[in-house]
Structure 1
Amino acid sequence: MNILCVKRSKVLGLLVVASAVLLISVLCTSAWAVQGEDRFALGNEAYAEGKYDEALSFYKGAIKQKGYSASLLYNMANAYYQKKDVGLAILYYERALYLDPGNADIQANLSLARKDFGLIAEPASDWQRFFNMLNLNWWAILASGAFGVFSLIYLLRGIRPGILKGAPARILTTFCLLCFMAGGTGVAMQYRNINRGVVIRDNVRLLVSPFDSASSSASIKDGKIVRIAKTYKGYLLVEGPNGKSGWIKRNAVESVVPSGGRS
């Protein structure tokens, strides 16, 4: 009996400790999120007062605490736009649009920024515009969901051949296949955007080889979109406007899709 009591007390003690650890973790996470929201709000206040550097400092702090969001990136882009920082303004508008492709405000401000800075947008076909309506995650969810429903239908028909027959079943399976194809194409199209970068320094030289002494074939204005092909030491091989390719210094370009905590 005493042994059982001891074991029971140990179990209860472990449960209490585990509950306390869980509670502390939740409270810390909540506090961390609240701090991130506070920094975002403080950034908005600083922006409204015209203190754009201070606003950006708060926004970057919010990113470190709560991660990226379309609204946060959009506000950062607005601050860089007010500072006339061409490259970073375009970069953060593009990042915000990647997370929220259908946002009319982001699209309008990006278009306005390009117009004010004398930049020409990349030409996009109707297909590209359609597949840019959603980001990579949502196209993947659509494709996975459609494939899951399609598989479930055939599984149920294999178990009970009498169900899900006739025109309704054919319509449903056809719809699932179309959604799967659209989702897969959307994933492929959006995956290409991962290689897009924005030139963040003005009049960057496009070099014929990845060395400081290499000759220059052209220059690229800040705010221009390039496609990153590969990396070599401190250089990136990119395809610039008008299909021109060459090497530029890595610190002259930032990826539209950020890796890690880069900002």
Structure 2
Amino acid sequence: MNHAFILRIASVVFLFVLSPALTASDQRDASLKARFAAASATYERSIDLLEADSSEGVRLLDTSIAEFRGIAATLDGTSAALEFNLGNAYFHRGDLGLAILHYRRAERFDRSLPGLRSNLALARSRVQPIDESAGDAEGLPRRIGVFLSAAWSFTAGAWLVAALWSVGWILALLRATGIATMPRWLILSPIAFSVLLAGVLFYASSEPSLQIGVVVDEAVIARTGPGERSYPPVFASPIPTGTELTIEEVRAGWLYVRFPNGRTAWVPAEGIGIL
């Protein structure tokens, strides 16, 4: 059984189950069920034609995507059914990034959808690993320059400030009074400050509000800072489409993200789909 057939079966079964539910949830649009059925039929015809490598199949696939998106616009939102079928359509279109994005969105509505887990696993299995070879930061002088020019995230910057403040405070007091005569509160105050800041940062970093993103552009380059000219690439190659990541900070047009391998970098926001 080929991959296209697996996705097709999962989609067909789910469409028949869900069509009545969609109609019941939106009494304002009497044509919603017919529109959903038409979009589903267009999708099915496109799969039949794609198996013969027909350009007409691609055209119908794009039409079904537009139809599903039109239904979402009518609903002023989305649903597990729409996200699941959009994921299937984008998978057949060869767009792993958007396929995984819509599968993950469908998960947020209903993780138990028939076929969702297997389809998502199949799409993920086709995502290329990140090329972890170094980008432009080669050689010790270049690495030092990259370190000095890197745009730190808020959390990393706060840790750095806390560490430098504590060390500077202790050194200044040692120089002024000597350790033998230094009051205990002067020694404990920078330590207490650092512990307090560490607690705040730990709480902030453990917040469940961190967003999940998916690379949906084929030319997303991870950089050391939020800018294309001033900050060199972290990796030698662009981030593969379909790579999932955690968004830790947002700046104008840029996202500070953490990749599955634990590495962090800045990426342009326009190339990332957010769940």
- In the superposition, the TM-score normalised over structure 1's length comes to 0.55
Give how far 1:198 is off.
Answer: 0.6
- Matched with 1:65 is 74
Query: Matches of 1:194 and 1:33 in 2, distance apart?
Result: 35
Tell me how many residue pairs correspond in the alignment.
158
Number of the residue aligned with 1:230: 249
Q: Letter of the aligned partner of 1:61 in structure 2?
A: G
Matched, 1:54 2:63: yes
Q: What is the aligned counterpart of 1:192 among 180, 183, 208? A: 208
State yes or no: 1:248 paired with 2:267: yes
Provide Cα deviations, 1:216-249, integer angstroms capped at 9, x if missing partner.
1024211011111121111111111311111111
Give the equivalent residue in structure 1 for 2:234: 217
Aligned to 1:216, what secondary structure does the other structure show? Answer: coil
The Cα of 1:33 is off from its aligned counterpart by: 2.8
1:111 is the counterpart of 2:111:
no
Change (3 A) 1:193 1:114: farther
Equivalent position amino acid for 2:103 in 1 = Y
Q: Return the letter of the residue paired with 1:215.
A: P
Shift of 1:104: 4.1
Q: Is contact 1:86-1:223 (8 Å) kept?
A: yes
The alpha-carbon distance between structure 1 residues 119 and 59, as it changes in their structure 2 partners (threshold 3 A), is farther
Corresponding position of 1:83: 93
> How much has 1:101 moved relative to structure 2?
1.4
Q: Distance in 2 between matches of 1:222 and 1:30?
A: 35
Same amino acid, percent of matched pairs: 28
Contact 2:222 2:266 in 1 (8 A): yes
SS in 1 for 2:246: strand
Choose which of 37, 44, 67 in structure 1 pairs with 2:40.
44
Between 1 and 2, higher relative CO (CA 8 Å, sep ≥ 6) is seen in 2
Structure 2's unaligned 5+ residue stretches are 1-24, 47-59, 131-206
Q: Distance in 2 between matches of 1:31 and 1:100?
A: 22
